[in-house]
Structures are given as C-alpha cells and as structure tokens.
C-alpha cells in the first residue's frame, strides 16, 4: 500500500469561529495540523490584547488532547506603534480586510490611503509583523482579485520591508505578482486547486463550493497549480476552511465559505500525486511557511495511505466539500 508522510503540516489561513462552532471544528484541524494562522474576523473582531489572549484560551480549551499551535492574528485597524509593541509577542500577523468584502469584515479598511495607514504599516515593518490581506475590490465578482493587484503594488512599493501575504490567491494575475516584489508572498487553498467557476454555478448551484474569492477560470486554476505543485518558495498552503451551519449554506443568501479542514491533506495528496509532485508537498504544507513566517512548530508526523475514503456527509452540521464522495487518500496515523 502506498503511503506518504508529512512532517509538521501547517494551515496558514484558518477560520475557527467561536462558541459551539469552535468546539466542533477546532479538534478537526488540531488532529492533523501542527498549527494554523487563525483569522480574527469574529462577530466582534479580535482587535485588542485581551481579545487575542481570551480567544487563544478558548481555542486551546477546545483541543485539550492534541498538540496544536494557534498562531493568532489581529484585525487590521490604524494602530499606533506603542500598541503594536504591546501585542507583538502575542500575534503572528495582522489581517487586513477591505470593508464589507467577505464574512464579518464590515469594520475593515474602506480607503487605502497610504498616508493614513503609514504609521501602522511602518511600525509593522520595524516590528517584523506580517500583513495578511484579503485582496478583493467591490467590483464585478470575477475581476475583484485582479483589480486589487494595483493595491498590492502600492503597498509593496510603499513599504518594502513589510512582509505582505496575498491571501487565498485565485488568479493568474496574482501568481504573476509573486515575482514582481520581493516582499509579496501568497497562500493557496486546496479548493482553488480543484475548482473553477463551472464547479460552483456551471450546472446546478453547488453551495458548498461557494466561497470568496470565488473560483475563477481554467487558466487561473492552471496558474495556481503551476506554483503550488512546484512548491514555489513564496507560496504556502492556507485552507481558508470556513465553516457555516448547513442551513446557512443551503439557503437563500448562501454564506460564503468552503469547509475543507478535516480532508485538506487527503485532497492535497490526491492532487500532488495526480501531477507526480508528491515530493513537493512537504514544502507546500510546511517548509515554506516555516521559512516565510520564521516559525518552528512542534513535531507532528502525519502518514497518509492510498486507499478509498468516503468523505462524511457532515461534521457536526458542517458539510465539507465533496460530501459523500470517495477520494483516493486517507490519514493512516498521526504521531
């Protein structure tokens, strides 16, 4: 039986929510990942030292039997340097959302005025705090990420010492941007390595494939695969696994988010094997992230085996991508 072992897998973009949802989904990530960058867009965003510490405590209380490091983030506002110095040891990054562009982002940035943002971004540069960005405008849905490239260029050129992570990139334009600026990096999800817009609305609407940014064109998928499969040193895995209750997905006003956390590594093995690139998967799911963020996770060894695995219909009322379908890889052991 074919097996493949991954050391210290990391998810560099994860939504854990809060309350009962946190208790349900956090153990699923903690089982197979050594750690994750945890998003701060709760209903009341994580924006103070108290928020950070209390949210981390709630996460750790939800995963008492698994080693798992939640790398905490702060919801971007125009903070002063003194505040950033006070929280620097408690966070790994700061997450910037354009206002109203996705779930719980209403308090995000409404204008990318470099003068107004400079105090915060200069301080982040000095303190070596990375900036993670949800890079979409409010334009036509298929063009939103491509339109945001000019803002990435503005940020990257204005703050050359600031490490900027283009989150969950979905377009060939974003892939091309990687090598234009030394301080630009990116996360890529597993679902954006599988889906195009056809898989969302090409036939019947598939609500559990719907997310923001939405899956794009075949040429965009090819561009993402070209850097992920080679484990380009500036890209890393970030699931953007975003749980919603089933009744919020299968309803009018379908909530944006694809839930992949419990099956992400299995799906990645399937993709990388298909393209004869399994040897590069370790760098994509761990080594690159360790280098980019300067983190050193505790040891965890995940061995996957090639066998038929039927994805559950749901995980505590959260429906995963490909629910009920068979895939070719399963987790064998976690040590």
Confirm if 166 and 186 have CB atoms less than 8 A apart: yes
Catalytic residue of the set 11, 51, 220, 240: 240
Residues constituting the chain: 335
179 assigned to active site: no
- The neighbouring-strand residues paired with 16 are none
Three-class SS of residue 261? Answer: helix
Q: How many CA atoms lie within 13 A of 248 on its CB side?
A: 13
For residues 76 and 79, what is the distance between their CA atoms, to the nearest angstrom? 8
Q: Which residues contact 65 (CB under 8 A, 6 or more apart)?
A: none
- Torsion angle of the four alpha carbons 261, 235, 308, 36, in this order, in degrees rounded to the nearest 10: -30
Instruction: Give me the phi and psi of 172, to 5 degrees please.
Output: -65, -30
> Which alpha helices (DSSP H) does 166-314 contain, by range?
172-177, 198-201, 218-228, 246-249, 264-274, 281-282, 288-293
Within its chain, how far is the Cα of 226 from the centroid? 19
For residues 97 and 295, what is the distance between their CA atoms, to the nearest angstrom? 24
What sign does the CA torsion over 259, 261, 263, 269 have? positive
For residue 160, give both structure tokens: 């050359």
Distances (CA, A) of 116 to 106, 193, 334: 19, 36, 47
Question: Catalytic positions, please?
Answer: 240
């Amino acid at each position: 039986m074919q097996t493949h072992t991954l050391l210290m897998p990391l998810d560099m973009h994860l939504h854990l929510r809060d309350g009962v949802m946190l208790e349900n989904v956090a153990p699923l990530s903690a089982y197979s990942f050594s750690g994750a960058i945890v998003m701060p867009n709760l209903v009341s965003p994580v924006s103070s030292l108290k928020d950070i510490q209390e949210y981390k405590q709630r996460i750790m209380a939800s995963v008492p039997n698994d080693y798992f490091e939640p790398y905490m983030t702060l919801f971007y506002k125009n903070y002063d340097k003194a505040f950033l110095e006070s929280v620097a040891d408690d966070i790994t990054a700061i997450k910037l959302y354009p206002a109203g562009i996705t779930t719980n982002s209403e308090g995000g940035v409404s204008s990318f005025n470099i003068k107004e943002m400079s105090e915060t971004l200069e301080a982040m540069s000095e303190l070596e705090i990375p900036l993670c960005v949800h890079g979409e405008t409010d334009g036509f849905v298929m063009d939103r990420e491509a339109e945001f490239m000019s803002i990435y260029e503005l940020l990257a050129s204005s703050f050359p010492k600031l490490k900027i992570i283009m989150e969950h990139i979905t377009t060939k334009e974003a892939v091309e941007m990687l090598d234009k600026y030394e301080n630009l990096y990116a996360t890529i999800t597993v679902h954006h390595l599988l889906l195009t817009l056809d898989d969302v609305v090409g036939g019947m609407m598939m609500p559990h494939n719907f997310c923001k940014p939405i899956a794009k064109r075949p040429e965009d998928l090819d561009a993402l695969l070209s850097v992920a499969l080679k484990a380009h040193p500036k890209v890393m895995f970030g699931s953007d696994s975003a749980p919603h209750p089933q009744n919020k997905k299968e309803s009018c006003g379908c909530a944006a988010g694809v839930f992949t956390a419990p099956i992400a590594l299995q799906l990645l093995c399937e993709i990388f094997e298909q393209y004869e690139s399994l040897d590069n998967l370790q760098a994509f799911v761990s080594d690159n992230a360790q280098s980019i963020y300067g983190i050193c996770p505790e040891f965890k060894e995940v061995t996957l085996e090639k066998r038929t695995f039927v994805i559950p219909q749901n995980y505590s009322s959260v429906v995963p991508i490909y629910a009920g379908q068979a895939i070719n890889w399963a987790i064998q052991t976690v040590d």
